Amino acid sequence: MTKGFPKNFLWGGALAANQVEGAWNEDGKGMSVADVAIYKSNLKLDDYEGHVAISSEMIEKAMADQDDKKYPKRIGIDFYHRYKEDLALFAEMGFKALRVSIAWTRIFPTGEEEEPNELGLQFYENLFSEMRRLGIEPIVTLSHYEMPLALSLKYNGWVERNVIDKFVKFCNVCFYRYKDLVKYWLTFNEIDSITRHPFTTAGIIPDRCAEGKEEETIYQALHHQFVASALVTASCHRIIPGSQVGCMLTKLTTYPNTCDPKDVEVTLKKNLLNYFPADVQVFGEYPVLIEKMFERKNIHIKMEPGDREILKKYPVDFVSFSYYMSLTESAKEGLEKTSGNTIMGIKNPYLPSTDWGWQIDPIGLKISLIELYDRYRKPLIIVENGMGAIDHVESDGTIHDNYRINYFREHIKQMKAAVEEGVELFGYTSWAPIDLVSAGTSQMSKRYGFIYVDQDDEGNGTLARSRKDSFYWYKKVIESNGEEL
Ligand code: BG6
């Protein structure tokens, strides 16, 4: 029987440019969709609409507003200037890998320039070189909720087909520039999330979609992302021999609320819908059941001749995913709901929840690994897993985050069990190794890190970094290759 994790297992953490870098308008960077994300406090846990609300009016107002503190992603945690200090801390924990993203707007500020911005290219070259120097393998996401705002305004994001060419150009510039530094690439972060928050994921402004055609518009944009993902997979393989490209799915493992077949059926459909984008990227074709669903809903996806061939010819090499929690579904209306990772679900009485109502389910991670491996038979990597919590700093500066240690311990145990049962898993990057700005609410107080960052929701603080108890714990986990939990 396999014992424990493989020898070269990629232990590490994951970040996204727009949630850490700050310096939103420095060195030629253009505005991205993240830079107009306003801080949201006191949102009710089940106010999903409140989390994702966006309109042309809100965007215009934000663009004119120079009070950066109201838009925390503009400030991030100043990783742009402090990345060396942060990488040194990750290296101290023994990181083998770090997942980061490239902000498209640092390379092409509006997405349409002829030539790339050299200062932006240089920044990532410095970042990846420093990671290599420290023995940390870069895993790089090409699109993580940060497309150029200019493309969103001009083309309604990914809705117009010509955005494919602009993205391919951006990616190819990155592949040529970083070919000696980066082997692992991810195309679109949580590609399935386009149906839940189309603006963050794909720059789609809901009030600019034809009335009654919102769903069709979103699936059209998703089709463009599929084609773009396949095309850049092809060019990545061509430009960087031996490179590996992965898709990235939000694994929203959903259980039936009861064994009533009606509950089981709605749950099955929900899970199939969750798999659909990864199905296209792995199998290279739309699932028949999804095409039938489109027919029933009168959704027509415009495809160009050759699109289906492109999808078929260039599937991804591996499957990456985020996993934070599980959900429950029922055919009945009116059951108590709870919030989750960009989604709402029915409350599961068997599971505890985080301060933000996300249901903690380590066994769900094992279930997810088995399901994904059985379905795709491709190597897997977990590129996000973690818990947002309120941390308390003691008078001596220490932070005793046992809740976080417990969360990780239980998830890693299940991950190990799945590996021992035969799942091919080659890495684990926690979300997030350092406190950062929340994607959903732009809060700093929703802390994820092993490293504390002295900054509050209003943007006050010294930005000083300090080690939480979980820092020392995760270091031991990595040192022992997951044996000492
Ligand atoms: C994932 C995203 O959905 O969840 C991350 O890929 C995000 O960008 C993470 O930060 C946690 O969500 P939140 O809203 O708590 O930051």
Per-residue model confidence as pLDDT tens digits over 108-125: 999 999 999 999 999 999
- Whether 388 maps to a domain, the answer reads yes
Phi, psi (rounded to 5 degrees) for 97? -150, 155
- The answer to whether the CB of 190 is under 6 A from ligand 1 is yes
**Candidate list 112, 118, 384, 484, residue with the active-site label:** 384
State mean pLDDT over 31-49: 85
State mean pLDDT over 386-394: 97
Q: Are strands 244-250 and 184-188 parallel, antiparallel or unpaired?
A: parallel
Q: Distance (Å, rounded) from C-alpha 302 to C-alpha 304? A: 7
Q: Are 244 and 318 in contact (CB under 8 A)?
A: yes
- Whether 234 maps to a domain, the answer reads yes
- Whether 484 maps to a domain, the answer reads no
* Residue 269 pLDDT > 80: yes
Domain count, the chain: 1
Per-residue model confidence as pLDDT tens digits over 290-343: 999 999 999 999 999 999 999 999 999 999 999 999 999 999 999 988 887 778
- Whether 485 maps to a domain, the answer reads no
* Residue 52 pLDDT > 90: no
- Whether 2 maps to a domain, the answer reads no
DSSP string, 32-64: BGGGG-----S--TT-HHHHH---HHHHHHHHH
What is the average pLDDT score of the chain?
A: 96
* Residue 24 pLDDT > 80: yes
Judged by average pLDDT, the poorest of 34-38, 49-53, 139-143, 458-462 is: 49-53
- Whether 319 maps to a domain, the answer reads yes
- Whether 5 maps to a domain, the answer reads no
- The answer to whether the CB of 443 is under 6 A from ligand 1 is no
438 C-alpha to ligand 1 centroid (Å): 6
- pTM (2 d.p.): 0.97
One-letter amino acid at 17 equals: A
The pLDDT of residue 457 is 95
**CATH number, domain containing residue 310:** 3.20.20.80
Per-residue model confidence as pLDDT tens digits over 177-209: 999 999 999 999 999 999 999 999 999 999 999
- Domain of 174 in residue numbering reads as 10-479
51 C-alpha to ligand 1 centroid (Å): 12
**Residue with the nearest Cα to atom 8 of ligand 1?**
439
CA dihedral (304, 310, 312, 317) in degrees, to 10, reads: -140
- Whether 275 maps to a domain, the answer reads yes
Active site residue 115: no
Band the pLDDT of 53: cuts 50, 70, 90: confident
* DSSP class of 109: S
